């Protein structure tokens, strides 16, 4: 390393191979999107291991985290949940069944509509969500130690700008694309 910058990484090697095989191909998008994809693949096992330490898979964590960050009383409709999580109603039902069996959520009748159900976080679910997110954020922060505070702010701002442009391109109506994170 020189001045904290890697001389060559995996993506540079891929670009060099493509330049040899297809010299007319512009692989510049790979310098950003390829690295973002690689970054995600590198950190995913650690994130999943963190949740597993709490007896959760990623999808189960996403459910209890969505409820916890929604604020008191930590209740949402299933429709709000599967929209926020970008999963099918069937996929959500499967997760809710497992979490309910574990005592982390409960299904309640809506006080406004007796035909509707709300998904509520139990005290145990709220405590677990908080412990898991705190542990996960500490773990993820350790991955960023190679960047100083200003570099992290700059990178975050550039990624926000990039993602905003992509979202506008993919959803011209202005509808926000949501992810579980």
CA distances from 15 to 4, 6, 21, 39, 117 (A): 22, 15, 10, 17, 52
Does 17 share its domain with 59? Answer: no
Q: To the nearest whole percent, how much of the chain has pLDDT over 70?
A: 91
Question: Which range marks the domain in which residue 39 is found?
Answer: 8-46
Question: What span, in angstroms and rounded, lies between the C-alpha atoms of 56 and 137?
Answer: 16
pLDDT at position 152: 97
Q: Is the pLDDT of residue 163 over 70?
A: yes
Give the number of domains in the chain.
Answer: 2
Residue 176 gets which letter from DSSP?
Answer: P
Residue 162 in any domain: the answer is: no
pLDDT 10s digits, 117-144: 999 999 999 999 999 999 999 999 999 9
Does 65 share its domain with 108? Answer: yes
Q: Is the pLDDT of residue 174 over 70?
A: no
pLDDT 10s digits, 31-83: 999 999 999 999 999 999 999 999 999 999 999 999 999 999 999 998 899 88
Question: What span, in angstroms and rounded, lies between the C-alpha atoms of 118 and 107?
Answer: 6
- Global confidence as pTM: 0.82
- Section 146-175 average pLDDT: 90
């Amino acid at each position: 390393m020189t001045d904290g910058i890697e001389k060559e990484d995996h993506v540079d090697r891929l670009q060099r191979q493509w330049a040899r095989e297809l010299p007319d191909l512009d692989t510049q998008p790979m310098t950003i999107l390829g690295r973002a994809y690689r970054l995600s693949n590198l950190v995913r096992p650690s994130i999943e291991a963190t949740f597993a330490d709490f007896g959760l898979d990623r999808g189960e964590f996403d459910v209890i985290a969505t409820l916890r960050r929604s604020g008191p009383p930590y209740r949402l409709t299933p429709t709000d949940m599967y929209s926020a999580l970008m999963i099918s109603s069937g996929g959500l039902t499967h997760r809710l069944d497992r979490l309910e069996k574990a005592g982390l959520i409960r299904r309640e009748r809506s006080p406004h509509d007796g035909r509707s159900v709300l998904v509520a976080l139990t005290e145990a679910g709220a405590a677990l969500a908080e412990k898991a997110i705190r542990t996960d954020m500490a773990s993820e922060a350790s991955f960023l130690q190679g960047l100083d505070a200003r570099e992290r702010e700059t990178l975050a701002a550039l990624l926000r700008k990039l993602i905003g442009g992509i979202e506008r391109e993919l959803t011209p109506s202005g509808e926000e694309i949501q992810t579980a994170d």
